[in-house]
Amino acid sequence: MSSSTPARLLVTGATGFVGQHLVDTLGAHLPESEILLADRQTSSLHAGSRRRFVRLDVSDADEVDRLIRTEQPTHIVHLAAVAAVTAANSDQRLAWAINFGGTQNLALAVSAFAPDCRLLYCSSAEVYGASFKSGRPLDESALLDPVNPYGAAKAAADIMLGQMARSGLRVLRLRPFNHTGPGQTPQFAIPAFASQIARIERGEQEPVISVGDLSSQRDFLDVRDVVDAYLRALLRFDDLPNGAAINIASGVARPLQEALDRLLSLTSSKIEVKVDPQRLRPNDTPVAFGNAARAAEWLDWRPAHDWPDTIASVLEYWRGQTG
């Protein structure tokens, strides 16, 4: 695939946080390609002359079969998922039905009806789980040892696709570490902080921020860097080993406390910080960071956005929201 060769791209989860950023990036770099925006809820947000919405519930095998058989995509970026660890904890059946079952449905449909299609699976660093206890930045050879339902369902799908690649499925497995940016929901820590600060500034909330465990350290990325990695993987797909796993990581573990301190430095409001027991995550991993040497070598990818600018962009987004 090249930027000048037209393709038919299917993006599942296209109306979600990462999906919206990815669709904009694909449209800018692949202007001759058709982009099918698949999600359970259609939207006109990114509609255009070469963008078309299609309704898709990935947990419905018949619906997935019909779509792949009818549309015959040349490439798929599979983002559709129960994306938050807390949401997966709350509804484990749904998390498995979508994060594993939906991936299985898509892979089987591609194998049956569009065998030449390339599938880019967006996995997660959560698949490594307890392996982070080593205290080292993990590369792709680390044991998949998830500690929560989200990570378990993602790991199961990841392993399944690795096996299917041996049987002919054309697939790459990208494992992004934590990423944030404008548009991410308050189910995640940094937008949860930023949205509360914005509400306090507007007088919609008492000047108190509720937080979880601020001692946790995570390998944070800007969502724009993550979708850039996805684009690069699509463009180089046929030059990479089929079935390969690729970490998308900065290699730096950053404390959540540091992110909150940075956000608080950007507001003139006097704000109290309180720990909310309901925001404390079971089986939390104190430190998690990755080794992305493979992404640097194979994709010529490295994070390009400064972390302080990323944090500021999240706050600016929430300042622009009302209600």
DSSP state letters, 136-186: S-B-TTS-----SHHHHHHHHHHHHHHHHHHTT--EEEEEE--EE-TT--T
Provide the 8-state DSSP code for 125. Answer: G
Where in the chain are the domains? 8-180+222-251+289-304, 189-216+253-287+314-319
The domain 189-216+253-287+314-319 belongs to what CATH superfamily? UDP-galactose 4-epimerase, domain 1 (3.90.25.10)
pLDDT number for residue 183: 95
pLDDT number for residue 280: 72
Let me know if 277 is exposed, middle or buried by CB neighbors in 10 A (0-12, 13-18, 19+).
exposed
How confident is the model over 43-61, as pLDDT tens digits?
655 566 689 999 999 999 9
pLDDT number for residue 210: 86
- The two tokens of residue 315 are 């706050």
Low-confidence ranges of the chain (pLDDT < 50): none
- The two tokens of residue 80 are 């559709």
143 contacts 267 by C-beta, under 8 angstroms: no
How confident is the model over 260-316, as pLDDT tens digits?
999 999 999 999 999 888 777 665 688 999 999 999 999 999 999 999 999 999 999
Number of helices (H) and strands (E) in the chain: give both, helices first. 11, 14
pLDDT number for residue 282: 62
User: For 8-180+222-251+289-304, CATH number?
Assistant: 3.40.50.720
What single letter denotes the amino acid at residue 266? Answer: L
What single letter denotes the amino acid at residue 234? Answer: L
Farthest-apart Cα atoms in the chain, separation: 59
What is the pTM (predicted TM-score) of this model?
A: 0.95
Spatial separation of the C-alpha atoms in residues 83 and 197, rounded to whole Å: 23
pLDDT number for residue 1: 65
